[in-house]
Amino acid sequence: MSAAPLLSDQRNRHLRVLRLSLTARCNLACPYCCPDLQDPPGLLSLDQQLRLIRVAARLGAKTLRLTGGEPLLSDRLLPLLQAVAVGRATPGDPLQGLQQVAVTSNGVLLNAERARDLRAAGLDRITLSLDAVDGAQAARMAGLQGGAVSGDRLVQQVLAALDAARSNGFDPSIGAVKLNAVIQRGNNDDQLIPLATLARREGVELRLIEYMDVGNRNGWEMDQVLTAAEIVERIHQCWPLQPEGRAVGGTARRWRYTDGGGSIGVIASISAPFCGDCNRLRVTADGRAYTCLFAAEGTDLTPALHCDALLEQLIRDLWIRRRDRYSEERGATSIASPHAEMAYLGG
């Protein structure tokens, strides 16, 4: 398979990122996400995942992000990375078009051995998630029983995961390891400065995500959103920031500390949506494709997952028809329609 002609949707957006969920299950239960306890039936096989990634790469995807649920719970993660790495190193393979392979994880299972294996299997980047430094808050944000004790343990696990990643070749100074935090007004917004302090001390970029109305279970209300502007202002009061902008097709608007303390990214999908250049195709662990995080319905890819040509045609047709810009329309429409759940879609 050689590269296909550039694929454009109805708003002239190109497919550049494939986000593939490996499982809908999770070992945490963040109330803003509300993962399932079980996977849906019919998880994709390794061959199906590989075919999908190869076809997406042929259609223009440059980044593969493996997510979940918690992707480190999946026994497919390592073999999939290894198979992708073989393709990336094989002349003429469309997987050579992949410039970056990344994972998003809550870090609980990322010890030194797993970090080493992931690196050896060709993983380029890893983003870890942590929503609070204070133990009681961390437990609440992760849906853990046991209050401050279990929350403190989680914070230590994520710090250990950061260390494990760093000491196994994921260099935070080039963004190979980052830290995600969801900020909810009136819930963990007092953790903003402690999280920024921690990220500065650890030398990792902190990516602050506005609380989003994904799924139907988290009871999202607009007044629980701490906007990107407020997030930036609060941090700027402590450490002055200068804007670095948002890369085309990127999700985070980046800001640099003027004192040399690194940078932060702010993902403003509620207050400053970036649908205009959204380049992401999301595929669930059971093979449903979504072109928007807020979509109600996905497209079942499984009938085409045995054949490159059929799959390519299906994804091509799906992308060419694509018009979605939910986040930009949020203010104008009622949000009554059901959306797919976050842990199913993979963020």
154 binds ligand SF4 (CB under 6 A): no
Contact stretch for ligand SF4 (CB under 6 A) within 26-34, 55-63, 149-157, 273-281: 26-34
- Per CB under 6 A, the list member of 17, 30, 84, 241 interacting with ligand SF4 is 30
Give the x/- contact pattern for ligand SF4 in 168-207, rule: CB under 6 A: ----------------------------------------
Give the x/- contact pattern for ligand SAM in 327-346, rule: CB under 6 A: ---------------xx--x
278 vs 195: CA distance, rounded Å: 28
3-class secondary-structure state, position 222: helix
Q: In the beta sheet, which residues pair with residue 288?
A: 300
159 vs 133: CA distance, rounded Å: 10
Q: Of ligand SF4, ligand SAM, none, which one sits near residue 319, judging by CB under 5 to 8 A according to partner kind? A: none
CA 212 to chain centroid, in Å, comes to 13
DSSP conformational letter for 177: E
Query: Least distance from C-beta 248 to ligand SF4, angstroms?
Result: 27
Number of residues that bind ligand SAM (CB under 6 A): 21
Q: Of ligand SAM, ligand SF4, none, which one sits near residue 212, judging by CB under 5 to 8 A according to partner kind? A: ligand SAM
- Per CB under 6 A, the list member of 4, 29, 78, 193 interacting with ligand SF4 is 29
Residues of this chain, 220-239, that bind ligand SF4 according to CB under 6 A = none
State the alpha helices, DSSP H only, in 128-221.
Answer: 135-142, 147-166, 192-202
66 binds ligand SAM (CB under 6 A): no
- On the CB side of 204, CA atoms within 13 Å amount to 28
State the alpha helices, DSSP H only, in the chain.
Answer: 46-58, 77-88, 112-120, 135-142, 147-166, 192-202, 228-238, 308-321, 326-329, 342-345
Give the x/- contact pattern for ligand SF4 in 63-102, rule: CB under 6 A: -----xxx--------------------------------
Residue for token digits 């104008």? 332
Answer yes or no: are the C-beta atoms of 273 and 294 closer than 8 Å.
no
187 binds ligand SAM (CB under 6 A): no
Torsion, Cα of 21, 25, 27, 29 (10° steps)? 100
Query: Least distance from C-beta 205 to ligand SAM, angstroms?
Result: 13
Q: Applying CB under 6 A, which residues contact ligand SAM?
A: 26, 32-33, 67-68, 70, 104-106, 129, 180, 182, 209, 211-212, 214, 218, 342-343, 346-347
